[in-house]
Amino acid sequence: MDKNKSNKKPEKEDHQESRRDFLKASSILTAIAVAPATVAKAAEYNLGEKISAAFETTPVNLTINGAKKQLAVEPRSTLLDVLREQLNLTGTKKGCDYGQCGACTVHVNGQRVLSCLSLVVMQEGKEVTTIEGIAKGDELHPMQKAFIKHDGFQCGYCTPGQIMSGIACINEGHAETKEDIKEFMSGNICRCGAYPNIVKAIQEVKNGGQKS
Amino acid sequence: MIQFQYERASTAQAAVNALTNNSNAKIIAGGTNLVDLMKRNVMAPNKLIDINALPLREIRQQDGKISIGAMALNSQVADDKLIMEKHPLLSQALNAGASAQIRNMASVGGNIMQRTRCHYFYDTALPCNKREPGSGCGALEGMNRMHAVFGTSEQCIAVHPSDMCIALVALDATVLVAGPKGERRIPFEEFHRLPGNQPEKDNTLQNNEMILSVEIPDNAFSKNSHYMKIRDRASYAFALVSVAAALNIDGKVIKEARLAMGGVAHKPWRLKEAEKALVGKPATEETFRQAAEIAMQGAKAYKHNAFKLKLGPNVIVEALKNAAGLV
Amino acid sequence: MPLAWYSPQPERQEIMNEAFFDKKEYKPLDRVDGRLKVTGAAKYSAEYPLPNMAFAVLVGSRIAKGTIKSIDSKAAERAPGVLAVISHLNAIKVPGYQPKGEHPSEPSTNGQPLRVFFDNKIVSNDQPIVAVVATSLEKAQFGASLVKIQYTKEQHKTDLEANAGDAKLAASAKKNPKSPTADYERGQKDAFESAPVKFEAEYVLPTEVHNPMELQSIIAHWEADNKLTVYDKVQGTKMTQKNFAKEWNIPEENVKCIATFVGGAFGNGLHNWPHETAAIIAAKQVKRPVKLVLTREQMFTMVGYRPRTWQKIQVGATKEGKLVAINHQSIGQTSSYEEFTESTLMQTRMMYASPSVSTRYRILPLNLATPIWMRGPGEATGAFALESAMDEVAHAIGMDPIDFRLANYTESDPDKNMPWSTKYMRECYEEGKKRIGWENRKLKPGEVRDGEWLVGYGMGTGTFGANRNSATVHAELDKEGNLVMHCAITDIGPGTGTAMVQIASNTTGIPTDKITFHLGNSEFPNAGLQGGSSTVNSVGPAVLAACNALKEQLITMAAAKGNSAFTSAKPDDLMFDKSELQLAGKSAKTTLADLFKQNNIEKIETTNESKPDENRNKYSMNAFSMHFAMVHVHPFTGQVRVKKIVCCADAGTIVSPKTAESQMIGGATGGIGMALTEDAVMDHRFGRYVTKDLGDYHVPVHADVPDIDVYFVNKPDLLADPVGSKGLGEIAIIGVAPAIANAVFNATGKRVRELPITPDKLI
C-alpha cells in the first residue's frame, strides 16, 4: 500500500483510492486469496517429513462426570469437540466456538470454563463436569429443577451452559443480588431471550441455599 | 487449526529455552485468546508450551508492593481480598473484562499479551499489517469505529483490548520477565508499544521472554478510584472508551492522581499531563473537565470514531467524579 | 366384570361440570420437553451419532463478485484424514438443480436460488465454494485452511444507500397489484401536502442477523442410492423433504427430515440453504454420512439475515391530532439472484385511521446472499419507522403519544375494508399505561431524572396477520388413557409440544402428563412451516379436530354398546376424568378400559386435517401488540439502560400461558437488540462483514435485559380458528424497537433514526 497517501482527501475519493491500492497489491485484476501465510508456512513445516509424528495423538487422563477416562487426542482438539464428537456428550453445546457465547460452559475442577477454548491436552488429571453429570440419577440438580419451574429457556440450546454457569455463579459468591447475577451471567447468551426467567431460577436456588 | 507440538514446561527456564529454540513456538496459559486466534488461522504456532504447571499463581505483599504471578487467573485476582482492599481499581477493571468463564481461564500474563480485536486483524481475507506486514491497514479507511485516536500510524490504528492493563498502567505497575539472560523489569507503560512501522509487534517483550509476574507499588488510591467502561452493550463487550481513575485526596485537594484510558490506543494509554493538571486542585467537576480537555490533546479521529473525541473526555470526567465520590 | 355404567354422586356431578366442561382457562404448564433440555438429553441436528461419520467444512469466497479462476486443492487433499475436496470442478451433478425462475423453498421467493458447487460464479462474499470432507472435524478444518483459490474479480455493489437509485419494484408486485409489495394508494393523492401539520423523516434499520444459539447444522445420510435422511436444522420438515426430493429427483417418501429439536432459528430455517445441499453432495461423494456445522461467521453469510432497509415516511395531521395522510416508502436489500420481499409497509396501511395512505416498496439487488424473514419480518422494520414517526408527530403537536394513537384508532381494517375478527388494543393501552407508570412521563423530553441518569418513557405498537395454514395431526388413545399425537411441525423454541398438549388436555380432560406430542419429523402428518406466528393457529385446530374425532369414536362405541345416554352426545359433551369418561349434564359414565375391552380393541386412532375457513374472506385477522419501555440514559456517556418493559398482547386465546409469557419476554429481548445493539457492519470496499461473530455483533446479554412484564388480553378469536389463537411469535418483537427509541427521545430529546442506538449517537 502507498504509505505516503494523504488522509485529507474527500471521503469518496479516499474510498476509491484505497480500493485501487488494494487491487494493486493483489496484482491488478486478479485478487489472489490464498491460505493465510502463517498457516501455509506452518503447514509446510508440519507436512514434510514430520507428518506422521505431527499427527500422532497424545494420551490424556482425566475424569469426566466422575468417570476416569483415558483419551488419545490431537493436541489441537478442544474439550468441546472431544466431548461432543468423541464421547457423545452432546449436552455441552457449540454456539460460537470462539468463547463468545457461553453455550459450551463446563466445570473443570469445580470452576466454570469455556470448553471451546480449552485444549484437551491441557486437562490432564482434571475433573470435568458437564450437564450430563449434575443430576443424581433421576433426581435433577436443584438448578435444573428451577430452570423448568421458571421456564428459563425456550429452544434449550444455551440451557446446559446457562445451568452450569448458574451453579458456578452461586458457588463463586456472585449471586448475592439480581444485578450481580445479571453481570456475572452475561457470558451466557440466550438468543431466545429467557434471561429474566434464568435470573429467577438462579435466585431461587441461591435463596434455597442449594450448592452443587 | 493446524497441528502443532505440545509440551509442558516444568520451569520458567525450560519455557524460555523452548522459545529460544523455536521462533515459531508460543506459550499457552489460559488459551482464551491464542486458541481463538489459532481457530481462525490468524496465528499458527507449530509448538505450544504449556506453562500451567509453573508456580506463578501467587498474589503476595512484599516490600512496598504487591506481586501477582503471571499465571494468576483474572477471576482469582479480581476476587482476591488483598487486591480488593489495596487496589480495588484493578479488581473493578478485571471484572469489566470478558465474562466470568473467560476470567476463570485467562491468566494475568495472557491478559497482558492478548492481541487486538481489530476486525481486519481477525479476518484473513482482509488486509492487516499486524497480521501480514505489508498487506495494508484495512481499518485506516475502513470501518474504524472501534479504533484508536492516539498514537496511530499509517500502518495500524488498532487498539489494545485489555481492561486490566488500563488499571495496571494507571497503577504504575512493573512487569517482571524472564529471558535467556535472566530476569528484567519493564515499567508497564513501556511494555506495550505504539504501532509505528512495525504494527506486528504488540509489545517490547522479546520472542524468547516470558512474563513471570506483575508488581504494583503500594499507593494511597484505594479509597478514591474508579474504572468506567463504556461499551455497546451492558456487559461482555470491548470498550468504546474506558477510563481508570485514581485519586489521593487530602481534604478536598487532590494530592496525587492517576489516569489511563482504554479503547483509544495501540497500548494502554496513560494520561500524565492530565494527571498533572489535577494535582493541587480541588476535586470538583470543573477540575476534572479541565484535565479531560488536556487528556484529549493530540487525539486524532478517523472516519467512524470521531465520537471518541467527545466520549473520551466525558468518560474521564465521569470516572473521576465516581473516584472522588461526587456521584 | 363390573358394570360399565353407573350414576355418580350428585355433588360430584356439579364439580365435574365446573372442572371439565368449562374448559376456558389454560393454566401455566412446565414445558413438556423441559427435562430433556435441562439434562442435555435433547438432541439437536448435529448430535446424532451415526457410524462412519465424516465431517465437512465449507470454504467461502473472499471476493463479493467475480469468478473462480482456479482452485488448488493439492495440499488439502494430501492432508491426513481428508476424504474429498469438493467444488464446482468435481462435484457430482445435482439432478434437480432448478431451471431459472423456479425456487425450491416454500413459500417461494422469486428468482434462482444459489446452486452450490454448480459453476465458477461468485455472487457474494463468503459464498460457499469448496467443501473439505475429512474423518474428523479437526482434520476437515485444517484441510479447509489449505485450499488455495484464485479469483477474477469484478466490481461489486453491496452498499444500500450508495446504490439506492437502482432499487426496483418486486416481480411479485408486477404480477399482482394487490400484493403487499405493490404500490398502494388510498384517499387523496396530495393530502399530505395540504395537511396542517407536516412531518417527514428517514429511518434506517441496519442488517441484522438471526444468530440463533445453535449453529446451522445438518447430517446428511444416504441410506441407499435413492434414499436420503437429513438431520437438519430447519423450520419445516415437510418443506425440506419436498425440496430435497425435487433436488435429487427421488420420490418424496425416500427423503426423511428429522428436526426434533431446533436450537432457535427466528426465520433462518424457513429456506433450505446451500450448505445443506453441500452436505448432501458430500455424503453422496464420500459414501458416508456427513456432518456439516456452519461457523458463526458463516451464520452471517449463508443462512439469510434481516435486510438493511431505508425508509422515508411523511405524516400529515391536523393540529388536533387527526391523521390526514401517511406516505411511506422503503428500500430493502436483496441478493442479485433472488428477490426477497417482506411486508414492511403493510401495517402503515391498516394500523391507523388515516384517510389517505400511500406506500412504495422497493428492493435493491446487491452482491449479497439472499435475506430471509427474521422474527417479525418486515413489520418490525416498518414499525420502527411508523411508530417512531407517530411519536414524532405527537411531540410536534404537543400531544401524548397514546392519546394521539387513540385519536386515530380504527374499528375496522381501513386497508381491506373489512371488520376485524377481533381487536382489543384499547385494553392494551390501558393496561400498559398502568403497568409502566406512564403517569410519571413528562410530555417534554429531558424532564425526568434519577440521579445523573435521564429517564424516559416510550411505547410502540405492532401487528401481524393471524395466519393459519392447513395442518394434520394423527392421534392415538390407548386403554390406559395415554394420548399420543404426531405432526411434522417443528418447535424452534416457543413450546409447540407444550401448547399442543395443553390444547389436547383442555379438549379431552386427559391430564397433561398422559399426553405426548411428537413433532419435527417429515414422516409425521403434514404441517407447514413454523413461521409467521402460525403454529398454534394451524396445528392447534388439527389437535382439536383429532381430539374431537377420538371422542366421537368413543361416543359411538359407547352408544353401540347400548348406553342410551351416549346416542345423542356430541364430542363437546364428553370429557375424561382420569380414566373415566364423563358426559356433560348426564350421569352417564364409563371407564376407557371397559369400553376398549367391550369392543375388544387396544387403542383407537384418528388422523385429522384442519384448514382455514371462509371467514378469512370476511374478516381482517390480526394479532396486536403494544410495548412500553422505561429507559435510563446517561447524558454524558450515552449509555442506555432499559429499566423496564411492559408487553401487552392481543393474541387471542393463550393456550400455554407459561411458554407464551416466555415468548413475549424473548421478543422484547430481541427488540432491545434491534433498538440498542445489533448491527452487521459491512466494509463495502470488500463487500465483507466486519462484525460477524458474537463478540462484535452484539446481541443482548443478561445485563441488558430488565424485568419484563407481560399482559395478555387473552380473549379468543374464534373467527380466526377454533382454538381462538392469533399468534404470538412476531408481535412479541414488532414495536419494541420504536418503543425504546421513543423512550430514549423522551429521556434526552434526541431522536435516533438509524438503529442501533449506541452510546456514540447520544453524546
Mutate to test the interface with A, among C29, C32, C33, C37 (most CBs of A within 10 A): C37
Q: Which pLDDT does position A6 carry in this prediction?
A: 41
**C9: Cβ–Cβ under 8 A, 6 or more apart, which residues?**
none
Q: Tell me the pLDDT band of C724, cut-offs 50, 70 and 90.
A: very high
Q: Does C75 touch chain A (CB under 8 A)?
A: yes
CA C725 to chain centre: 16
Question: What domains are defined for chain B?
Answer: 5-52 (3.30.43.10), 225-324 (3.30.390.50)
Beta strands at C227-232 and C217-224: parallel, antiparallel or unpaired:
antiparallel
CA distances from B106 to A76, A114, B82, B242, C535 (A): 18, 11, 20, 20, 45
Q: Which pLDDT does position A39 carry in this prediction?
A: 52
- Average pLDDT (B105-128) is 98
CA distances from A83 to A91, A94, B145, C259 (A): 9, 11, 38, 22
Residue C12 above 60 pLDDT? no
Residue A12 above 60 pLDDT? no
Q: Which pLDDT does position C103 carry in this prediction?
A: 54
Task: Please name the residues between 94 and 153 in chain A that touch chain C, using a CB distance below 8 Å.
Answer: 94-98, 100-101, 103, 130-132, 135, 140, 144, 147-149, 151, 153
Neighbours of C136 (CB within 10 A): 18
Q: Tell me the pLDDT band of C567, cut-offs 50, 70 and 90.
A: confident
- Binary contact (B31, A122; C-beta < 8 A): yes
Q: Which pLDDT does position A34 carry in this prediction?
A: 42
Q: Which pLDDT does position C100 carry in this prediction?
A: 63
Q: Tell me the pLDDT band of C104, cut-offs 50, 70 and 90.
A: low
Share of chain B above pLDDT 90, in %: 99
Residue C97 above 90 pLDDT? no
In this structure, whether the domain defined by C10-30+469-611 belongs to CATH 3.40.605.10 is answered with no
Chain B: residue whose CA lies nearest to C757: B232
Which CB contacts under 8 angstroms, 24+ apart, belong to A104-107?
A104/A80, A104/A161, A105/A160, A105/A161, A105/A162, A105/A164, A105/A165, A105/A168, A105/A187, A105/A188, A105/B101, A106/A79, A106/A130, A106/A131, A106/A164, A107/A164, A107/A167, A107/A168
- Binary contact (C263, A18; C-beta < 8 A): no
Q: Which of C337, C340, C339, C359 is nearest to C348 (CA)?
A: C359
Question: What domains are defined for chain A?
Answer: 11-53 (no CATH), 54-133 (3.10.20.30), 142-207 (1.10.150.120)
- Binary contact (B1, C690; C-beta < 8 A): no
**For the ranges A152-156, B229-233, C97-101, C253-257, which has the lowest average pLDDT?**
C97-101
Nearest Cβ partner for A182 among C30, C151, C702: C702
**For the ranges B48-52, C278-282, C595-599, which has the lowest average pLDDT?**
C595-599
CA distance B288 to B277: 9
- Binary contact (B44, A42; C-beta < 8 A): yes
The DSSP string of A66-134 is: TEEEEEEE-TT-BHHHIIIIIS--TTS--S-SSSSS-TTEEEETTEEEEGGG-BGGGGTT-EEE-GGGS
CB distance B247 to B239 below 8 Å? no
- Average pLDDT (A26-55) is 44
**C571: Cβ–Cβ under 8 A, 6 or more apart, which residues?**
C547, C548, C549, C551, C552, C555
CB distance B201 to B131 below 8 Å? no
CA atoms within 13 A on the CB side of C603: 12
Phi, psi torsion values for A61, nearest 5 degrees:
-110, 125
Neighbours of C157 (CB within 10 A): 18
Q: Does A155 touch chain B (CB under 8 A)?
A: no
Per-state percent for chain C, helix, strand, coil, to nearest 5: 30, 25, 45
Task: Please name the residues between 22 and 51 in chain A that touch chain B, using a CB distance below 8 Å.
Answer: 22, 25, 33, 35-39, 41-43, 45-46
The DSSP string of A164-202 is: HHHHHHHHHT--SSHHHHHHHTTTS--TT--HHHHHHHH
Where along chain C do its domains lie? 10-30+469-611, 398-467+619-761
Q: Does B234 touch chain C (CB under 8 A)?
A: yes
CA A61 to chain centre: 22
CA distance C196 to A45: 76
For the segment C183-236, what is each residue's pLDDT rounded down to a tens digit?
999 999 999 999 999 999 999 999 999 999 999 999 999 999 999 999 999 999
Å from B124 to nearest chain C CA? 9
- Average pLDDT (A97-107) is 98
CA distances from C10 to C3, C16, C585, C591 (A): 19, 10, 11, 18
C179 vs B132, higher pLDDT: B132
Residue C3 above 60 pLDDT? no
Share of chain C above pLDDT 90, in %: 89
- Binary contact (B123, C690; C-beta < 8 A): yes
Length of chain B: 327
For the segment C545-566, what is each residue's pLDDT rounded down to a tens digit?
999 999 999 999 999 887 788 8
Calculate the average pLDDT of chain C. 94
Q: Which of C359, C356, C358 is nearest to C317 (CA)?
A: C356
Q: Which pLDDT does position A209 carry in this prediction?
A: 60
For the segment A172-192, what is each residue's pLDDT rounded down to a tens digit?
999 999 999 999 999 999 999
Do the domains C10-30+469-611 and C398-467+619-761 sit in the same CATH topology, yes or no? yes
Nearest Cβ partner for A91 among C41, C142, C662: C41
Nearest Cβ partner for B3 among A15, A37, A76: A76
Cis peptide bond upstream of C716, omega within 30: no
- Binary contact (B311, C638; C-beta < 8 A): yes
Q: Which residue has the cell 487433499?
A: C77
Q: Which pLDDT does position A48 carry in this prediction?
A: 40
Q: Catalytic one among C253, C452, C730, C754?
A: C730
Q: Does C310 touch chain A (CB under 8 A)?
A: no
Annotation says C730 is catalytic: yes
C111 vs C701, higher pLDDT: C701
Q: Which residues pair with C709 in a beta bridge?
A: C646
CB distance A36 to B41 below 8 Å? yes
Q: For the purposes of burial, counting CB atoms within 10 Å of the CB of A4, is it exposed (0-12), middle (13-18) or buried (19 or more)?
A: exposed
Residue C20 above 80 pLDDT? no
A22: chain C residues, CB-CB within 8 Å: 685
Hey, is C606 helix, strand or coil? strand
Mutate to test the interface with B, among C636, C679, C693 (most CBs of B within 10 A): C636
For the segment A104-116, what is each residue's pLDDT rounded down to a tens digit?
999 999 999 999 9
Calculate the average pLDDT of chain B. 98
ipTM of the complex: 0.98
For the segment B169-194, what is each residue's pLDDT rounded down to a tens digit?
999 999 999 999 999 999 999 999 99
Q: Tell me the pLDDT band of C588, cut-offs 50, 70 and 90.
A: confident
Q: Which of B2, B282, B309, B323 is nearest to B147 (CA)?
A: B309
**For the ranges A11-20, C365-374, C729-738, which has the lowest average pLDDT?**
A11-20
B104: chain A residues, CB-CB within 8 Å: 111-113
Residue C18 above 60 pLDDT? no
Beta strands at C227-232 and C255-258: parallel, antiparallel or unpaired:
parallel
CA A67 to chain centre: 23
> How open is the CA angle C189-C193-C194, to the nearest 5 degrees?
100
- Binary contact (C138, B2; C-beta < 8 A): no
Strand order in the sheet with B182-187: B59-62, B65-69, B210-217, B174-179, B182-187
Mutate to test the interface with A, among B1, B3, B40 (most CBs of A within 10 A): B3
Nearest Cβ partner for C40 among A29, A91, A182: A91
Q: Tell me the pLDDT band of C110, cut-offs 50, 70 and 90.
A: confident
A197 vs C103, higher pLDDT: A197
Residue C170 above 60 pLDDT? yes
C103 vs C492, higher pLDDT: C492
Residue C448 above 80 pLDDT? yes
CATH domain C398-467+619-761 topology: Aldehyde Oxidoreductase; domain 4 (3.30.365)
CB distance A85 to C136 below 8 Å? yes
How many contacts does B have with C, using Cβ atoms within 8 A? 94
Q: Which pLDDT does position A38 carry in this prediction?
A: 54
- Binary contact (B119, C696; C-beta < 8 A): yes
Chain C: residue whose CA lies nearest to A142: C38
Q: Which pLDDT does position C585 carry in this prediction?
A: 74
Length of chain C: 763
Q: Which residues pair with C754 in a beta bridge?
A: C204
Residue A16 above 50 pLDDT? no
- Binary contact (C451, B327; C-beta < 8 A): yes
User: At how many degrees (to 10) do helices C736-748 and C657-672 cross?
Assistant: 50
For the segment C479-517, what is each residue's pLDDT rounded down to a tens digit?
999 999 999 999 999 999 999 999 999 999 999 999 999
Neighbours of C189 (CB within 10 A): 12
Residue C154 above 70 pLDDT? yes
Residue C55 above 70 pLDDT? yes
The DSSP string of C262-331 is: ----TTTTSS--HHHHHHHHHHHHHTS-EEEE--TTHHHHSS--BPPEEEEEEEEE-TTS-EEEEEEEEE
| Chain C residues touching chain B at CB-CB below 8 Å | 62, 125, 138, 141-142, 145, 451-452, 634, 636-639, 641, 676-677, 681-683, 685-686, 688, 690-692, 695-696, 698, 700-704, 756, 758-760, 763
**B21: Cβ–Cβ under 8 A, 6 or more apart, which residues?**
none
